């Protein structure tokens, strides 16, 4: 576990040590629970100050790759794949283009998980969805309270039983809330899509019939009408 100090000029020592520690974990295939050397030992081995090691460890700790137990030592952990997203998926930190990209990504995933949903969904799920929809409060012809939006779609995500999908989509959902609040009079209705506007309750029959193609088309139209409206009316920022 040695490396050539200042081998790459543009990187700081912290950057290099971070990389070295990570590659030390990966190369040695250290699994969750494995202890790693103390800060002092690491600093000695890398021939750097302890605070350099601490900064590098601090980053890995944030990523969830290591966990430090106070006064005991550090161990390797399995990182939460999506968790680190949440800090940067923030409408105030991202550009308009990034937000639009994420909204389109959501449309793609949410229609792309159709097979998973139709395959996994139970009658209990459908009953729960009907219960959620029945509580819906339309503030407008089309605009739901954001809590209702989140509750409904989040329920759909959980049917996939895929935690990566659930986490990723639930992370993007707040962006929708942000956009929604930015535009009080949001009405995703225009000449083109007036006929095929889909509300939450319209999705239920497709779920009941386990109609893959029908549901996919419906959820796509449901989301696309919204995202097209956002783009065309430039309601972000």
Where on the chain is the footprint of DNA (CB under 7 A)?
5, 12-14, 38-41, 47-52, 54, 57, 68-74
Under 8 Å CB-to-CB from 151, ≥6 apart: which residues?
A: 132
Task: Mark the segment that binds a second copy (CB under 8 A) among 52-60, 118-126, 135-143, 226-234.
Answer: 52-60
The one-character DSSP state at 121 is: -
- In angstroms, give the least distance from the CB of 59 to DNA: 12
How many residues make contact with a second copy (CB under 8 A)? Answer: 51
Q: Does 204 bind a second copy (CB under 8 A)?
A: no
Query: Residue 72 binds which one of a second copy, DNA, none, with CB within 5 to 8 A depending on kind?
Result: DNA
Within 136-195, the residues that bind a second copy by CB under 8 A are 162-165, 168
Among 93, 134, 137, 141, binds a second copy (CB under 8 A): 93
Instruction: State both tokens at 105.
Output: 């990504």
Rounded-to-integer distance, Cα 103 and Cα 100, Å:
5
Rounded-to-integer distance, Cα 36 and Cα 66, Å:
9
Nearest CA among 2, 91, 85 for reference residue 47: 2
Q: Which CB atom, from 163 or from 233, has the smaller least distance to a second copy?
A: 163
Any idea how long the chain is?
237
The backbone torsions φ and ψ at residue 36, rounded to the nearest 5 degrees and listed phi first, read -120, 160
Q: Which CB atom, from 77 or from 153, has the smaller least distance to DNA?
A: 77
Among 69, 71, 92, 195, binds a second copy (CB under 8 A): 92
Rounded-to-integer distance, Cα 230 and Cα 100, Å:
8
Contact indicator for 2, 42 with CB cutoff of 8 Å: no
Contacts 24+ apart (CB under 8 A), 10-13: 13/48, 13/52
- In angstroms, give the least distance from the CB of 87 to DNA: 18
Residues near a second copy (CB under 8 A) are 14, 18, 22, 25-26, 29, 32, 51, 54-55, 58-59, 62-65, 78-81, 84-85, 87-90, 92-95, 98, 101-102, 104-105, 107-113, 115-116, 162-165, 168, 213, 220
């Amino acid at each position: 576990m040695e490396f050539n100090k200042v081998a790459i000029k543009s990187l700081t020592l912290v950057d290099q040590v971070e990389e070295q520690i990570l590659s030390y974990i990966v190369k040695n295939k250290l699994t969750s629970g494995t202890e790693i050397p103390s800060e002092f030992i690491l600093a000695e081995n890398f021939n750097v100050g302890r605070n350099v090691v601490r900064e590098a460890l601090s980053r890995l700790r944030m990523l969830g790759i290591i966990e430090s137990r106070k006064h005991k030592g550090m161990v390797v952990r399995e990182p939460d794949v999506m968790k680190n997203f949440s800090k940067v998926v923030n409408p105030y930190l991202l550009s308009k283009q990034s937000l639009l990209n994420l909204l389109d990504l959501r449309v793609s995933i949410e229609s792309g998980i159709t097979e998973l949903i139709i395959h996994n969904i139970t009658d209990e799920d459908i009953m729960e969805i009907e219960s959620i929809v029945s509580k819906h409060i339309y503030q407008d012809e089309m605009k739901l309270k954001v809590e209702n939006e989140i509750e409904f779609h989040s329920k759909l995500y959980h049917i996939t039983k895929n935690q990566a999908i659930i986490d990723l989509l639930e992370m993007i959902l707040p962006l929708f809330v942000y956009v929604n609040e930015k535009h009080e009079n949001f009405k995703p209705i225009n000449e083109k899509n007036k006929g095929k506007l889909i509300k939450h309750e319209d999705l239920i029959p497709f779920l009941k019939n386990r109609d893959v193609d029908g549901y996919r088309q419906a959820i796509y139209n449901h989301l696309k009408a919204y995202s097209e409206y956002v783009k065309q009316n430039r309601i972000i920022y």
